[in-house]
Structure 1
Amino acid sequence: MVSAELLLLDVSTSDGAEYQCVVRNRFAAEHSIRSVLKVFQVPVFSNEPDDMSLLVGQNAKIMCAATGIPPPVIKWSKDGGAAFPAALQHRLFVRPNDDHLYVVNVTIEDQGVYTCHAVNEAGSIQASATLRIFENSFNVTLKDTVVTVNETLLLDCYAGLSHPSQRMEWTLNGEPLFVDGDRVSLKAQGQILAIRKVELSDFGEYACELWAGNDQLARQRATVTIVGLDGIKMEPKTRRKFDFQPSAVLLTLIASIAMLFTAIACCIGFGRIWSSRKLTRTALNKQSIRG
């Protein structure tokens, strides 16, 4: 009686195949029934859901993707259960071949902990993210403003910060605004921007942004134009705008310069013509002498 055993160590996906035992001697060979070895792989997340903050009425897009053998099935739960208020109101859906869970027109009851479950025959894994919903937004509209040099610029972007994670950030021409706490300062938890003794260089597009954690909830912007003591305006589009009319002295000076350049051009042209005629006469005299 002969027996044999095939032992595979550190099995990998490439080991998945059909195996068959063959017994031979000098007279004949005998084959066993074929056995199929399936190699499964426990799911692994390729994209985990992230915490998210939104305002009421916005749309949530929560990502979750995983790989494994066989490909895992993605399932969702909210606060440890299968009840989704958004699903009952037809505001929650998933798309084929899409790694996102969508919640449309979110409400306060949609906030909570969303858990992504990746399941296949080898096992299951899960990852969670918290969705926070806020009701507050800007209570005032940021308006375009014109101020004169040395005056104080005040921009109000009040939003009634309702949670410790919320904050207000300011930018100037798309870049973070430098706040020194002296000439440029923030008040009311950063919701009011004050710039004392305004300078011409303070012109540009100012924006206030409402944030919660790493998420920008809302943004509004306004253009600030600075007027100098000499009447010169500094504004984003034209860069410099002059509001004065040229004086009579300036117009006279421009006319005199133009006449001077005209006279110089005429003298140069006359000199070239005179030189050309002189050369022509010299050539004719030489021909007469030779004749």
Structure 2
Amino acid sequence: MINLVLLLTAALVSLQCCFVGAAIINSKNDLDNRLKPNVAPTPRRRLGSFVKMLSAPPESVSLIPGTPLELSCVVAGHPAPTIQWLKNGETLPDYEESANEILNIHPSSIVQLVTKLVVATASNGDEYTCVASTGVKQKIATTIVYTTEAQDPLRALFRPSVPVIIYYYDTIFQNQGTTVVLPCRVSSFSPAQIYWMDNDDKLIYGNSRMQVLPSGDLLISVLEWRDMGNFTCTAKNMYGKVAASTFVYPVKP
């Protein structure tokens, strides 16, 4: 009788241990499931290409005889857009030569760009069109120029004036480690000198990573975080000088 009681007691203790052990295992499984949920990470969205006209020239404007007219377009785009100016639907060769040379455009670039067209002479009703393009996407703005009297082309051509920076980036975001070219294209009726100041307001000269190109553009090799800030292009001729700054933001890829 005593042996039977002892056997029953031992059996009950053994069953209790099994239940407790199972509870502990189940509790650990529940805890692990809570700590390690099987959830897929959310993929990062990629910025698609775009172009936007931020500021367009007026729909119509009057040209004062003997005074050059400046038409301005401000656009934003990804990658960096290119600009063409047309006169009565035809490409302006002078503008193409001075401002629309091929730039090294990186696909990661996001740019706000300022472009200007200097109109020295025009016939009444001439149309000038700013065409901003990124890939197959375009934005267009057209200005009609009105004149009140005949103009002397030689008088307008040789009128003393300071240079005009007709093509530059106001802001650029681009991946670190890439090569970036900051345009600085100039229109001047007399020979002009172009120089750049870096983001520490120091003259760029003899720098192994930064070089002023014959076109006036600034080339920065292997863009680094320390390059963040304003780079300033200055154009100077015998009548004065003008400057334009580009804010560079190196983006971590």
Asked if TM exceeds 0.5, the reply is: no
Please, what TM-score do these two structures have when normalized by structure 2? 0.36
Q: Which has the higher contact order (CA 8 A, sep 6+)?
A: 2
Select the structure of larger CA radius of gyration. 1
Please, what TM-score do these two structures have when normalized by structure 1? 0.32
